[in-house]
């Protein structure tokens, strides 16, 4: 099967596509994949690193604040649609799979025009603008929550699949991962990251708790600053006269996230849908810090849904400081019973067969492809 994947911008859109591709690759010896993305997004790094080819288009999202800029966006959309048609004709896929982000829009449109079956996946409770706009072009809409269907005009196309989780996340062993990371077993290991691009508020809070981390040495720490913030964070550490220690790893990007997640006793992160799903699949206790700068505040919805079921602890950005974060970490890692309760609670949100469900939809959509219409 030949599949064209579209999704870009952040890891939350790219990693699901890679997860789906890897899953199908294991089941179809004739599988061929091509990704479509932008040169400015993380897909430029993540897709080639995963071993897949990628073509680039020039596209960006609509501005909600500066409406005059949308004239340029519309021009780019028109050109991107033509480019996507060229890519589809050349690659000749059996099906197109979109995983969100503004890259998905023109790809879904081009697939419809050329008679290629298509599936789009929505990770969050509330669907993004691209998914809502693309619903008329695709054959199936894979959603992660029942609630999402209420917000879609084409509910007849919606199928609840859950979020695709990378196989390496699902199969990672806690003990072996800890050994691979060089982390001891004598105290808890805390993993902190702000998403694939990093998060200024989380970075600032972590910076201002590192002095206590190094002095008190209550836990091992791995922290991902995000590529764009690593230099600034390193300068901040130097200004605060904080010296790195073997028990504290500060990285621009956590490439071996499967080991880090599996080894962690506590995860501190944003509450994007894929992150939440990975935490649930591993049953990891977490402190979630929702980003307030997302459409429809969907990260807050994700986090509060877990919180009301005792499946995480939430800290709002409005009260986030180094002391607040550090104290909450110490409170949780000092209470094994509390950690076990959170772990049991979050496991209830795990969907173990999401990739299998999505693959089923892809197979159905591929049968709808009209090869004669793509000549």
With the C-alpha atoms ordered 366, 370, 371, 374, is the resulting torsion angle positive or negative?
negative
- 3-state SS assignment for residue 56: strand
| Burial class of residue 35 (count of CB atoms within 10 Å of its CB; 0-12, 13-18, 19+) | buried
- If asked whether residues 176 and 95 sit together in one domain, one would say no
Tell whether the model's pLDDT for residue 33 goes beyond 50: yes
Q: How confident is the model at residue 359 (pLDDT cuts 50, 70, 90)?
A: very high
Nearest to 273 by CA among 253, 254, 301: 301
Residues 199 and 73 placed together within one structural domain of the fold:
no
- The pLDDT confidence band at residue 237, using thresholds 50, 70 and 90, is very high
- pLDDT bracket for residue 59 (50, 70, 90): confident
192 shares a domain with 140: no
Range of the domain at 264: 168-347
Cα–Cα distance for residue pair 15/253, rounded to 1 Å: 14
Q: Are 129 and 224 members of one domain?
A: no
Both 135 and 18 in one domain: the answer is yes
How do residues 302-352 score in pLDDT, each as one tens digit?
899 899 999 999 999 999 999 999 999 999 999 999 999 999 999 998 888
Number of structural domains the chain divides into: 2
**242/307 same-domain check:** yes
Query: Which residues, listed in sequence order, are joined to residue 55 by a DSSP beta bridge?
Result: 36
Alpha helices (runs of H) in 28-95, residue ranges in sequence order: 43-49, 70-91
Can you tell me the distance from the alpha carbon of 82 to that of 109, in angstroms, rounded to the nearest whole number?
10
- Taken as a whole, the chain contains a residue count of 375
Residue 230: alpha-carbon gap to chain centroid: 20
Are 177 and 296 members of one domain?
yes
Count other C-beta atoms under 10 Å from residue 223's C-beta.
22
pLDDT higher than 80, residue 362: yes
Q: Would you state the pLDDT for residue 373?
A: 47
What's the pLDDT at 197?
63
Q: For 123-218, where are the alpha helices, taking DSSP H only?
A: 129-134, 167-171, 174-181, 200-207, 210-216
| DSSP element (H, E) containing 32 | strand 32-37
Same structural domain, 71 and 15: yes
Are 141 and 174 within one domain?
A: no
CATH number at residue 201: 3.40.50.2000
Q: Specify the higher pLDDT residue, 173 or 166.
A: 173
What local confidence, expressed as pLDDT, does residue 372 receive?
43
pLDDT value, residue 207: 97
Residue identified by tokens 């996230």 is: 257
Q: What digits encode the pLDDT tens for the residues 76-86? A: 777 888 999 99
Nearest to 87 by CA among 36, 139, 20: 36
- pLDDT of res. 375: 42
Tokens 């429809």 label which residue?
Answer: 296
Confidence bin at 61 (pLDDT 50/70/90): low
From CA 254, how far away is CA 234, in angstroms rounded? 16
Per-residue tokens: 124: 């969050």
According to the model, what pLDDT value does residue 66 have?
56
- 212 and 83 within one domain: no
Q: Give this prediction's pTM.
A: 0.79
Q: Which residues contact 273 (CB under 8 A, 6 or more apart)?
A: 12, 123, 124, 125, 144, 163, 298, 302
State the average pLDDT over residues 238-253.
92
Helix/strand/coil for 55: strand
The residues pairing with 6 across neighbouring beta strands, listed in sequence order, are 36, 98
Q: What is the mean pLDDT of the chain?
A: 90
Band of residue 110 on the pLDDT scale cut at 50, 70, 90: very high
Q: In this structure, are 140 and 188 located in the same domain?
A: no
Q: Are residues 365 and 314 in the same domain?
A: no
Report which of 259, 276, 269 is spatially closest to residue 350, judged by C-alpha positions.
276
CA distances from 358 to 38, 97, 142, 287 (A): 24, 10, 7, 29
Round to whole Å and give the CA distance between 79 and 36.
Answer: 14
> No. of H helices and E strands in the chain?
16, 13
């Amino acid at each position: 099967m030949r599949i064209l994947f579209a999704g870009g911008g952040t890891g939350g859109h790219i990693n699901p596509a890679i997860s789906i591709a890897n899953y199908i690759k294991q089941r179809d010896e004739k599988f061929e994949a091509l990704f479509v993305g932008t040169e400015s997004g993380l897909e430029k790094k993540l897709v080639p690193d995963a071993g897949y080819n990628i073509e680039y288009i020039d596209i960006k999202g609509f501005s909600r604040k500066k409406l005059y800029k949308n004239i340029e966006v519309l021009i780019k959309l028109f050109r991107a649609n033509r480019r996507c048609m060229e890519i589809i004709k050349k690659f000749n896929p059996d099906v197109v799979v979109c995983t969100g982000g503004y890259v998905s829009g023109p790809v879904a449109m081009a697939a419809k025009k050329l008679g290629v079956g298509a599936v789009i996946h929505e990770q969050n409770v509330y669907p993004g603008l691209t998914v809502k706009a693309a619903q008329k072009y695709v054959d199936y809409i894979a959603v992660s929550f029942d609630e999402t269907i209420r917000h879609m005009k084409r509910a007849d196309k919606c199928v609840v699949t859950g979020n695709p989780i990378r196989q390496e996340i699902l199969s990672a062993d806690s003990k072996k991962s800890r050994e691979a990371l060089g982390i001891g077993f004598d105290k808890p290991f805390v993993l902190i990251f702000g998403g694939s691009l990093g998060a200024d508020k989380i970075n600032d809070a972590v910076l201002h708790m590192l002095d206590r981390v190094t002095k008190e040495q209550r836990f091992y720490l791995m922290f991902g600053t995000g590529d764009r913030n690593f230099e600034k964070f390193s300068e901040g550490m130097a200004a605060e006269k904080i010296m790195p220690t073997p028990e504290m790893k500060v990285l621009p990007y956590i490439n071996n996230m499967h080991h880090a997640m599996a080894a962690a006793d506590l995860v501190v992160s944003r509450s994007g849908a894929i992150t939440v799903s990975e935490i649930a699949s591993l049953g990891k206790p977490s402190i979630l810090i929702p980003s307030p700068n997302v459409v429809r505040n969907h990260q807050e919805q994700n986090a509060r849904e877990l919180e009301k079921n005792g499946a995480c602890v939430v800290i709002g950005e409005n009260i986030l400081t180094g002391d607040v974060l550090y104290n909450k970490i110490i409170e949780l890692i000092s209470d094994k019973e509390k950690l076990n309760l959170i772990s049991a609670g979050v496991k209830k949100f795990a969907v173990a067969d999401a990739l299998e469900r999505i693959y089923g939809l892809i197979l159905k959509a591929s049968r709808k492809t009209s090869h004669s219409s793509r000549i």
